[in-house]
Amino acid sequence: MEKKNPLDNKARAERMADIFPHKDYYESKLPMQRKFENLRIDLIKRLCGNTIGKKILDIGIGDGLMAEKLAIDNLWGIDISSKRCNRAKKRVPHATIIVENAEKMKFEDDFFDGVICADVLEHATNPDKIINEMIRVTKKDGFIVVSLPNEPVFILARTLLLRNPFNPDHTHWISKRYLLKRFKRKPTKILNIPNLIYPFCLSHCYKFIK
């Protein structure tokens, strides 16, 4: 795959911020869409556990809708899109939100008690770098929560709806095997969002301990 300049990646992120504001998902007029997004947030919240007194990083904080619902006291958030960061600051004014590329974060080693990376890796130019950075900035015995869409289910759904089966903003298809290989450890817990239509789950949520 052709490597993209980080500036190109940022420009793409800013463009997507205009085309796909996150409220279209979390506050969708479609009941199933809203249900899916809220279920994903519930699973992530369960995996994070008690975050009182802990410093948590939300990678790809976006417009801040998920962060608002997670209600974490000491929350830090990064996003490559300045437009999304500005929206997030309005949603979660207590959080520390920075325009930052997750592939090369400026935080010190072992800086956070926990890291959340919700449906981000499939959009990244280099997901390997983001995974390495997540591990680097997480304290020993800290947690990393990663959620990923079950891509085959969404490809099938788009095909049945006579739409382009592939999401143009998904640059990678992240499998469980890939994730375990990159983290070099087994997740302590995996939670899935079930699907009432097809016999496959819609999303996977993983929790790793450093």
Q: What does the pLDDT profile of the chain (210 residues) look like in tens digits?
A: 334 444 467 777 777 766 665 565 666 666 666 777 788 888 899 999 999 999 999 999 999 999 999 999 999 999 999 999 999 999 999 999 999 999 999 999 999 999 999 989 987 889 999 999 999 999 999 999 999 877 655 555 555 555 554 555 656 667 788 888 889 888 888 876 555 444 445 678 899 999
pLDDT (0 to 100) of residue 146: 95
Q: What token pair was written down for 188? A: 């302590």
Other C-beta atoms within 10 Å of 110: how many? Answer: 13
pLDDT (0 to 100) of residue 136: 98
Q: What token pair was written down for 141? A: 């015995």
Architecture of domain 6-209: 3-Layer(aba) Sandwich (3.40)
> Directed axis angle between helix 176-183 and helix 127-137, to 10°?
50
Place of tokens 């996150």: 22
Element (H, E) at 206: strand 203-209
pLDDT (0 to 100) of residue 6: 44
Smallest CA-to-CA distance from 65 within 35, 25, 31 is with 25
Bridge partners for 99 per DSSP? 79
Q: 123 in helix, strand or coil?
A: helix
Q: Which amino acid is at 204?
A: H
Length of the chain: 210
- Taking the whole predicted model, whether its pTM rises above 0.85 is answered as no
